[in-house]
Amino acid sequence: MADDTTKRDFRDRGRVSGDEEYEVAHFARKFHLTIPEARDLIKKHGNDRATLEREARAVASR
């Protein structure tokens, strides 16, 4: 039986929660950043995942 699509999770997958250690750690590992670098990006650019990924790629390519 298929999943019930009317039951939605409360989390927003388009955002990175700076308050959750595991989300910051995952984001940092994904882009080969340190935890402080990931937190700085979140502070500077907000928690929108698309914006953070774009900025993280720019930092990682330096």
Task: Tabulate helix, strand, coil % of the chain (nearest 5).
Answer: 55, 5, 45
Percentage with pLDDT > 70 across the chain? 84
Q: How many CB atoms lie under 10 A from the CB of residue 41?
A: 25
Per-residue model confidence (pLDDT) at position 61: 80
Residue 17: partners with Cβ closer than 8 Å, 6 or more residues away:
23, 24, 47
Report the distance separating Cα 10 and Cα 29, nearest Å: 25
Interval 19-48: pLDDT, tens: 999 999 999 999 999 999 999 999 999 999
Angle at 28 (CA atoms; ends 25, 31), nearest 5 degrees: 150
Per-residue model confidence (pLDDT) at position 14: 86
Per-residue model confidence (pLDDT) at position 2: 59
